[in-house]
Amino acid sequence: MKKLFLLTIVFIVLVCGMVCYSTGYTPLDFLTILFSNSIVTEDTAEGSGFVSTKQYQMSSVKETRAVWVATAYSIDYPSTQTTNEAELKAECDEILDNIAACGGNTVYLQVRPSADALYSSSLFPWSRYLTGSCGTAPENSFDPLEYWITQAHARNLRLEAWINPYRICAGEYAKTDFNSLPSDSPAKQHPEWVVECEGSYYFNPGLAEVRQLICDGVAEIVSNYAVDGIQFDDYFYPSTDFDDADAYSASDTELSIADWRRDNVNQLVQQVGQTVHEKAIHSNCQFGISPSGIWRNKGINSFGGSDTNGYEHYTSSYADSITWIKNGWIDYICPQIYWHIGDNTADFETLANWWSRQVINTDVKLILGLAAYKIGDETYGSVWKTDGCAEIGRQIDLSRSINGIHGCALFSYRNLTQTDGLSSIVTQQWGN
């Protein structure tokens, strides 16, 4: 009898192991699903702006197949700025249907393109990129982020909230946009936090109050919405000419100004990672960052950088992504390797292999950002102009052949539907 019992236990363990391997779940995830059958319920913190009524299974994935959905400048959503609830819902449904049909499993939705929000926030005004006027809410108290999460989860898609932490207003109309910010915008309430740089406006990364504002904003999202993650993109310090001399002097630091700036970003990254894991109502909520594709160029320094010759975020935007990885402050890194295989400036294969070595012996996952937006554009060279769709297919293939790469992400959604041939290439790669 004891022998039969032991054989039964061994059988169960083997079955669990096979299920975990095939689905990408950890054993703990599998047991959670087995006994609770859900991770999101109708219960939320008191005062929450979001209630999920959709039971949602564990969202771990074996391979990340992600698509960025940009909201700034009407890149992806909404196609036309509007307060109309029905239109906003319909566009969301169409986008998610198309991503799911291509075999995608993760969506990075830009919910704070500037110091604004595509969700109900007590800290940031409603985004002008959503409704056309900063501070104007959608009709009928409609909350886009709530709806996106519910609909993504209904299609078994992960939904991460993508944030631009420091940017307030940028681009051709930055001054006009800044002047039209509502009085309750943190940028208007605290002008001492704001730095104008090259015609655009940013929060000063060197101020502890700014770091706290960003952490509070992250906490507001992860404690009220069942997002699967928080993602920062590649916008940190906008320029080496950033006017932060007063903050640097007041810090009384012995660091050089470049190292001080990197330390400011490091402090934010560490604090946000802690905030996500302490405050999130979603037990698997992750914190990831998508920097530009090159940390440092090997030929310019002795820091073990990649064999490339392009814009490096360590010196140009003061983002020390390798420190984030080595200290485990993030759950994943998603470098934007926006060059083709064989590029003379920055070869995709060289960078993919270099980044894979950086995550060895760490718990940080590596996802590669792919430049779908370059397809068909002669500005980026003949490969992208004449063979761009196939190039994306080759990059996905290559990423699967390199140990340590967890998947890929496409920038951005509109290329799936507006670029001839891309959706079929992606579906061939992801639809299995």
The pair of structure tokens assigned to 48 is 């929450």
Residue 213 has pLDDT above 80, yes or no: yes
Contact criterion met (CB below 8 Å) for 268 and 232: no
- Which pLDDT belongs to residue 18? 44
Q: How many C-alpha atoms does 359 have within 13 Å on its Cβ side?
A: 23
Stretch 287-311: mean pLDDT, rounded? 89
Residues in the chain: 432
- Minimum mean pLDDT among 58-72, 211-225, 284-298, 330-344: which range? 58-72
Stretch 186-203: mean pLDDT, rounded? 98
Largest CA distance in the chain: 80
- Which pLDDT belongs to residue 357? 97
- Which pLDDT belongs to residue 423? 97
The pair of structure tokens assigned to 46 is 């008191």
Gap between the Cα atoms of 284 and 229, Å rounded: 8
> DSSP letters of 321-362?
HHHHHHHT--SEE--B--S-TT-SSS-HHHHHHHHHHHTTTS
The type of residue at 394 is R
> How crowded is residue 285: how many other Cβ atoms within 10 Å of its Cβ?
22
DSSP state of 232: E
Gap between the Cα atoms of 177 and 300, Å rounded: 39
CA angle (225, 227, 229) in 5-degree steps:
140
Q: How far is CA 3 from the centre of its chain?
A: 51
Q: Which residue has the tokens 């015609």?
A: 199
- Which pLDDT belongs to residue 304? 84
- Which pLDDT belongs to residue 3? 52
Helix axes 422-430, 382-401, angle to 10 degrees: 10
> How crowded is residue 124: how many other Cβ atoms within 10 Å of its Cβ?
23
Average pLDDT of the residues of the chain: 89
Higher pLDDT, 237 or 8: 237
Gap between the Cα atoms of 152 and 56, Å rounded: 10
Gap between the Cα atoms of 37 and 114, Å rounded: 37
- Tell me phi and psi for residue 6, to 5 degrees: -65, -40
